[in-house]
Chain A
Amino acid sequence: MRIVFQLFLTFFNIGAFTLGGGYAMLDMIEKAVVDRRHWIEKDEFWDMITIVQMLPGVFAVNTALYTGYKIKGIWGAIAACLGAIIPSIVIILLIAVFFLDYKENQVVERIFKGIRPCVVALILSPSIKMFINAKVNWKTAVFPIATVVLIYFFKVSPVYIIVATIIGSVAFAFYSQNRLNKSKS
């Protein structure tokens, strides 16, 4: 019980004071659960993170869930997850209440006119990084291009594209594994 509560507090602290989202939180989580509390081994933690990165959903929430689970089972998972999200909910509610009131304010409007093109660049940058990371070449370029065309021009739901991608990727993985096995034998 004490550990469950400590898990909640640890993740609450991280959720309340870490700027920059999931990857910035990762560092703080490692410091807290590996270095300070010794709840989990360093290698074990990073092994887990490589898998958690692949999962759908909010990365920080998944990290909290799996770290919490490793340490104290399902209640540990729930405590860590609640700890990670409650500060966000409280802070954003306060901001949303304030911001929706001041949206029409001249000063706020001017500030946000400057911020909007900045946000576009902040999203553009990780997309280019992902292109590089995925090693997109002339052959594989058809996938991101099709994604962009389908969503932007044909208003296809990204959900369908993701489902199709999963099915296609699994099929391709099986196919290439078979070919690999055949060439070995």
Chain B
Amino acid sequence: MIYLQLFWAYLKIGIFGFGGGYAMLSMIQFEIVDHYGWMTTAEFADMVALSQMTPGPVSINIATYIGYTVGGFWGSLVATAAIVLPSLLMLYLVLKFLFKHKENYIVKNTLASMKPVIAGLIFVAALQLMNSNNFIDFGLHQNNISVIICAVTFAGVFWAKINPILLILASGLVGYLIY
């Protein structure tokens, strides 16, 4: 039963996962954290960090990790297969249709006008992680180190274009020294 749920959840993510890995995070969160309650938001954040730091496609890393936590070894294979399967099945369709019509006005405009929604999807993924699970010392009379880590990381990745892996390692070090 759990394999079936895992397969169905990840099949939807594979079919509707427009806009890349970060946009997919909101879908994954909805299924795994909100809908099935297989993970807490803190566990989810840990997993995203681990998946960023390990080689390979981040979304595949996440699928394998969630699959394993929920359903062990077979769970990891089920989740990973389910996210890849729609891409494989769509191969012929896309080659026949999209590649022949790549200058098509409809195709181009449809994808361009999806962008604002995708921006919203990614933003929600970040917003849903902003809670006391992940910001443990947020408050009026607290030292708010977690808020500082978040702000510095944002500046580092957004403006200074520092490698995210370095930022994760640095934040881990700060956490180890302070908490």
Q: What is A's interface to B at a CB cutoff of 8 Å? A: 15-22, 25, 47-48, 50-51, 54-62, 65-66, 69, 74, 77-78, 81, 84-85, 87-89, 91-93, 95-97, 99-100, 107, 110-131, 133-134, 136, 140-141, 143-148, 151-152, 155, 157-159, 161-163, 165-166, 168-170, 172-174, 176-177, 180
Contacts and interface: CB of A to CB of B under 8 A. Distances in A.
Interface in B1-49: 12, 14-22, 25-27, 30, 34-35, 42, 45-46, 48-49
6 contacts: A51-B102, A65-B87, A85-B57, A134-B118, A173-B106, A173-B109
Contact of B45 (A74, A115, A143, A163): A115
Contact of A165 (B86, B90, B91, B117): B117
A99 B152 CA distance: 27
B110 A166 contact: yes
B106 A88 contact: no
B60 A85 contact: yes
Contacts of A85: 56-57, 60, 80, 84
B139 interface: no
Interface residues of B, number: 106
Contacts of B145: 114
A116 B55 contact: no
B179 to A, nearest CB: 5
A18 B91 CA distance: 25
Contact of A140 (B99, B106, B116, B133): B116
The 8 A-B residue pairs with the shortest CB-CB distance in the complex, in nearest-first order: A114-B175, A147-B120, A144-B120, A88-B56, A134-B115, A60-B57, A118-B171, A127-B122
Contacts of A173: 105-106, 109-110, 113
B154 A121 contact: yes
A124 B50 CA distance: 17
A21 B128 contact: no
Contacts of B34: 155
A118 B49 contact: yes
B91 A77 contact: yes
A136 to B, nearest CB: 5
Given A91-B54, A91-B56, A114-B175, A120 B106 contact: no
Given A119-B49, A123-B22, A144-B119, A58 B84 contact: yes
Contacts of A95: 50, 54, 65
Contact of A88 (B60, B113, B128, B129): B60
Contacts of B130: 120
A116 B45 contact: yes
Given A15-B55, A95-B54, A124-B123, A133 B87 contact: no
B84 A60 contact: no
